[in-house]
C-alpha cells in the first residue's frame, strides 16, 4: 500500500480551512450576540485584560497559548466583543495571579 503524502497534505489543508471557517462563524455569532445584548440595555462585561497582559509582559498570542485559546479570542475579549466562559475566566485569573473580579466587572458597577 503506497501512501500518497500529497493527498494527505491536501486533505489536512482542507480540514484546516474548514476549521478556520467554523471559528470565524463562531466569532461572528459571539460578536452579534454581544451587540444585541448591548442594544437591549444589558450591562456589558468590562475587563482589564490588556492592562494585565502589559503588566505581565504577555502578547495576545502568549496569553492565548497559556489559556488554550486563539489570539483572536483574546482580542475579542479585550475589546468587549466576546464574553469568555467561566473556565477561561478562571484560567486568566490564575495566569494573572489575581481574582476574577479584578479582571472582569459589569458595566456600571465599581471597578
- Selection from 25, 14, 96, 21 nearest residue 55 by Cα: 96
pLDDT tens string for the chain (111 positions)? 566 888 888 888 888 888 888 888 887 888 777 676 666 666 788 999 999 999 999 999 999 999 999 999 999 999 998 999 999 999 999 999 999 999 999 887 665
Q: What is the pLDDT of residue 93?
A: 96
What domains sit in the chain, N to C, each tagged with a CATH number? Answer: 5-106 (1.10.260.40)
d(C-alpha 27, C-alpha 5), whole Å: 33
Amino acid at each position: 500500500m503506497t501512501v500518497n503524502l500529497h493527498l494527505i497534505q491536501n486533505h489536512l489543508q482542507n480540514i484546516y480551512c474548514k476549521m478556520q471557517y467554523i471559528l470565524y462563524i463562531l466569532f461572528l455569532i459571539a460578536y452579534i450576540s454581544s451587540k444585541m445584548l448591548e442594544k437591549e440595555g444589558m450591562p456589558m462585561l468590562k475587563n482589564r485584560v490588556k492592562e494585565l497582559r502589559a503588566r505581565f509582559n504577555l502578547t495576545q498570542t502568549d496569553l492565548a497559548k497559556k489559556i488554550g485559546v486563539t489570539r483572536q479570542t483574546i482580542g475579542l475579549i479585550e475589546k468587549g466583543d466576546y464574553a469568555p466562559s467561566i473556565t477561561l475566566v478562571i484560567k486568566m485569573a490564575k495566569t494573572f495571579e489575581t481574582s476574577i473580579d479584578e479582571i472582569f466587572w459589569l458595566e456600571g458597577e465599581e471597578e
